[in-house]
Chain A
């Protein structure tokens, strides 16, 4: 039971890191970036290439993957979303879905359809023995720690730094922010940069925990993380964390105790129930703090 719970929190932490990307972009640019899940997949492939083909040490490969995904996120925003800044939200949504397929198919061309076996970053580290005999994999420990660290840094960033404050101002009133001298386009780019950089971290963690890498690797976790963001209250950073972790725990427990085939159905079922009673998500009150 304890082992399942820890696995759930670990998976949920990965969802939470992805959900941050959704929630921040939604909070600031007021759009759903459905290509976000595929940035995770790119992060996975990039780190895979560095580690398997060039023998780059894992930490450096992760940093390189983050850098490349950050640039990718900014580029996607510039090319695909920026021209639609004043378009209807539906047009932006369709573009985001298109971008998602574009990334998946590009990956298909570059890396092929055959799954790649992702190297185990933590192969030299023993699984930890917990009280009661439960074993916890190192990736679980890293995922949970990374999630906590990222959450603390992001919260401090949005509340205490000038760029974070600018982001919150843009999220409330783009026009007024512009007239106070805030560069809205740059602020939105920064949001995409942060979200995509985090997606790379999530990609590495995800591929380490579930070591098959395919062009569609990012889509299911992407959708689940989006669910987690909605679950917690989209636009809210703590909401993404709580939503992500709850979703991970529900998924693992359902898989362990009910049925592994039904796990996903149960996850989405819980979302539907929550949204019936709390349409704005767990933390999404009438007045809630947007990023």
Chain B
């Protein structure tokens, strides 16, 4: 597997650090003292994270550690019980998922949630929805603006699909795609919303090693081309250690370690909680 060169992490104000290259640029995401309770159960507590403008960060931890819950908090599927989430410097308190999406956060899902009956291109166009500047009535009466904007969206959709070499599948129904392609389409759909931070929930789940390798290259390519940050949940340690510049380890809803891949690999607490059981 091709590994990214290890980057140096530097401390920034607050208990966070970012890759040196992102120093001086505003943090794309900053969460402080984040927590949520479900009834009496403390699902996530004292979650602090700062993500640099072009950082690739891994969120790992055993099953049930609260990783997807954190994605749901960041995208406002759940309103946090405690703490703050700042996206691009804006407090997202009481914002809706649509509003935080417009602030620049987009995600994929652990269990694929494509719009099955829509075509590949239409799925991407759903992501482009808020970037198409024509009125609904212009769509009904098919005014010139409708044609112009739909043409633009069509070209943009093909361009985005081309990142994964999927442009020739544009007219195919989403549910007829093979599994790996569905995962890739979810990433394209999320990218179409124009995020500054892309949340990937187990992007390599169910992929074979060569597909995973290709995915790693594509995640890096997306980051470089779009200059965005990526936060990913993943169980595939080759992928996590291969592309993440920083890693956050979660167990029982709390962060137990943060650092570079080599720091995490050498951390005895992490090995005990997580890696130890997976090394075989």
Question: Which residues in A have some Cβ–Cβ distance to B below 8 Å?
Answer: 153, 156-157, 160-166, 168-169, 172-173, 175-183, 190, 287, 289-290
Contact at A175–B77, with CB atoms within 8 Å?
A: yes
Contact at A176–B109, with CB atoms within 8 Å?
A: yes
Residue of A nearest to B96 (CB): A178
A162-B109 contact given A173-B115, A178-B97, A180-B189, CB 8 Å threshold: no
> Main SS of chain A's interface residues?
helix
Contact at A181–B75, with CB atoms within 8 Å?
A: no
B125 within 8 A of A: yes
In the complex, how many angstroms separate the beta carbon of A182 from the nearest chain B beta carbon?
6
B205 within 8 A of A: no
Q: List 17 A-B contacts (CB under 8 A).
A: A160-B139, A160-B150, A161-B139, A162-B125, A166-B129, A172-B116, A178-B96, A179-B97, A180-B126, A180-B127, A180-B190, A180-B193, A181-B102, A181-B129, A182-B98, A183-B98, A190-B136
- Interface positions, chain B 63-107, Cβ under 8 Å from A, are 75, 77, 96-98, 101-102, 106-107
B257 within 8 A of A: no
* A157: B residues at CB distance < 8 A: 139-140
* B130: A residues at CB distance < 8 A: 181
A169-B115 contact given A179-B97, A183-B98, CB 8 Å threshold: yes
B21 within 8 A of A: no
B113, B129, B142: the one contacting A162 at CB < 8 Å is B129
Residue of A nearest to B121 (CB): A165
Contact at B125–A165, with CB atoms within 8 Å?
A: yes
A182-B129 contact given A160-B150, A162-B139, CB 8 Å threshold: yes
B167 within 8 A of A: no
A176-B115 contact given A165-B125, A181-B129, CB 8 Å threshold: yes
Contact at B113–A289, with CB atoms within 8 Å?
A: no
> Main SS of chain B's interface residues?
helix
Contact at B136–A169, with CB atoms within 8 Å?
A: no
For the complex, give the distance between the alpha carbons of A157 and B101 in Å.
25
Contact at A181–B101, with CB atoms within 8 Å?
A: yes
* B252: A residues at CB distance < 8 A: none
Q: Which of B98, B106, B109, B134 has the largest count of A CB atoms less than 10 A from its CB?
A: B98
B122 within 8 A of A: yes
B132 within 8 A of A: yes
A163, A168, A180: the one contacting B117 at CB < 8 Å is A168
In the complex, how many angstroms separate the beta carbon of B279 from the nearest chain A beta carbon?
35
B118 within 8 A of A: yes
Q: Which of A157, A169, A175 has the largest count of B CB atoms less than 10 A from its CB?
A: A169
Contact at B77–A172, with CB atoms within 8 Å?
A: no
B101, B102, B127, B139: the one contacting A163 at CB < 8 Å is B139
* A168: B residues at CB distance < 8 A: 115, 117-118, 122
Contact at B140–A161, with CB atoms within 8 Å?
A: yes
Contact at A179–B107, with CB atoms within 8 Å?
A: yes
Contact at B136–A175, with CB atoms within 8 Å?
A: no
Contact at A161–B115, with CB atoms within 8 Å?
A: no
In the complex, how many angstroms separate the beta carbon of A288 from the nearest chain B beta carbon?
8
Contact at A180–B101, with CB atoms within 8 Å?
A: yes
In the complex, how many angstroms separate the beta carbon of B55 from the nearest chain A beta carbon?
22
For the complex, give the distance between the alpha carbons of A98 and B115 in Å.
34
For the complex, give the distance between the alpha carbons of A290 and B118 in Å.
10
For the complex, give the distance between the alpha carbons of A289 and B116 in Å.
10
A153, A156, A179, A190: the one contacting B75 at CB < 8 Å is A179
* A181: B residues at CB distance < 8 A: 98, 101-102, 106, 127, 129-130, 193
